């Protein structure tokens, strides 16, 4: 019980009163309402204000969590187990999120309305061009992240920092290549069922790559500051799990949508 907070008869971390949950809910409401206004030909300013407020709340809330992780008693062994379970359940929800897009793609491709897939007139992307290169890039990023994790476990800080920096660079490269690919695609988002399912699945994956890159960048800053220890690095583990999940989803996207679907 030595690592728990004073005057507690249990090993769990009781979070101090915080304004961020209610402010975060209010920011999400403004963001959603602003998006509805924007989709109905209104201005984007309400939506952008909600997004800015949400980003601010996220930054302040996670800053509080990072400080709790450094105080020496809040994130004890039992709390860290709970944090790992929470991240695992979050990734499970992400699996179901992408499952819906794969379902839509296969339902459309196995039973196409016009009898052919891809639909006539759709000029699909060559899976062995930029998509294959991006596959190698993401697989390489998984290897560099594992290198960083090894460095953390063995307490080799230089390997940790170098591995994270390499992973972030590969993630940025992947995003730039996908943006280039989108800009040169021969079909638009609203030009039929194939473009819609293609952009929804690959676009949301690209969004997750951007989020994961930001996640790893925060870990890099924390690694440079010496926040992570070989026996206590839940924040790094969460980022690594998320990134490996993004890697696996891309493999399914490449083989099903880019290759088989073309």
pLDDT of residue 13: 75
Q: pLDDT per residue over 49-86, tens digit each?
A: 999 999 999 999 999 988 888 887 788 888 889 999 99
Query: What's the rounded Cα separation, in Å, for the pair 214 and 171?
Result: 10
DSSP state of 5: P
Concatenated DSSP letters for 63-101?
A: HHHHHHHHSSSSS-HHHHHHHHHHHHHHHHHHHHHHHHH
Domains of the chain: 12-63 (1.10.287.70), 82-260 (1.20.120.80)
Distance CA 170, CA 13 (A): 37
pTM of the model as a whole:
0.89
CB atoms within 10 A of CB 235: 22
- pLDDT at residue 17, as a whole number: 87
CB-based contact 69:223 (threshold 8 Å):
no
Half-sphere exposure of 204 (CA within 13 A, CB side): 15
Which range among 115-119, 182-186, 203-207 shows the weakest confidence by mean pLDDT?
Answer: 115-119
Q: DSSP 3-state assignment of 115? A: coil
- Categorize the per-residue pLDDT at 2 as very low, low, confident or very high, splitting at 50, 70 and 90: very low
Would you state the torsion angle of the CA atoms of residues 108, 109, 113, 115, taken in this order, to the nearest 10 degrees? -170
Residue 191 buriedness (CB in 10 A; 0-12 / 13-18 / 19+):
middle
């Amino acid at each position: 019980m030595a690592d728990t907070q004073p005057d507690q008869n249990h090993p769990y971390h009781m979070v101090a009163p915080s304004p961020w949950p209610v402010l975060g809910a209010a920011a999400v409401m403004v963001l959603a309402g602003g998006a509805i206004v924007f989709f109905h030909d209104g201005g984007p300013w309400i939506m952008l204000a909600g997004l800015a407020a949400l980003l601010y709340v996220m930054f302040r809330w996670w800053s509080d969590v990072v400080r709790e992780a450094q105080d020496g008693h809040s994130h004890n062994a039992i709390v860290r187990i709970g944090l790992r379970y929470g991240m695992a359940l979050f990734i499970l929800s992400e699996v179901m999120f992408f499952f819906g897009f794969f379902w839509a793609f296969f339902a459309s491709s196995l039973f196409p309305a016009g009898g052919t897939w891809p639909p006539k007139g759709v000029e699909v992307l060559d899976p062995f061009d930029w998509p294959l290169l991006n596959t190698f890039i993401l697989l390489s990023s998984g290897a560099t992240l594992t290198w960083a994790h090894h460095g953390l476990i063995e307490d080799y800080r230089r390997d940790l920092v170098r591995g994270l920096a390499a992973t972030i660079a590969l993630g940025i490269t992947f995003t730039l290549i996908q943006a280039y690919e989108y800009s040169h695609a021969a079909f638009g988002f609203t030009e039929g069922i194939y473009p819609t399912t293609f952009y929804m699945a690959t676009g949301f994956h690209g969004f997750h790559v951007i989020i994961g890159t930001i996640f790893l960048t925060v870990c890099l800053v924390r690694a440079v500051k010496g926040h992570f220890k070989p026996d206590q690095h839940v924040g790094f583990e969460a980022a690594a799990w998320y990134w490996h999940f993004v890697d696996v989803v891309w493999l399914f996207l490449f083989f099903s949508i880019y290759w088989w679907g073309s």
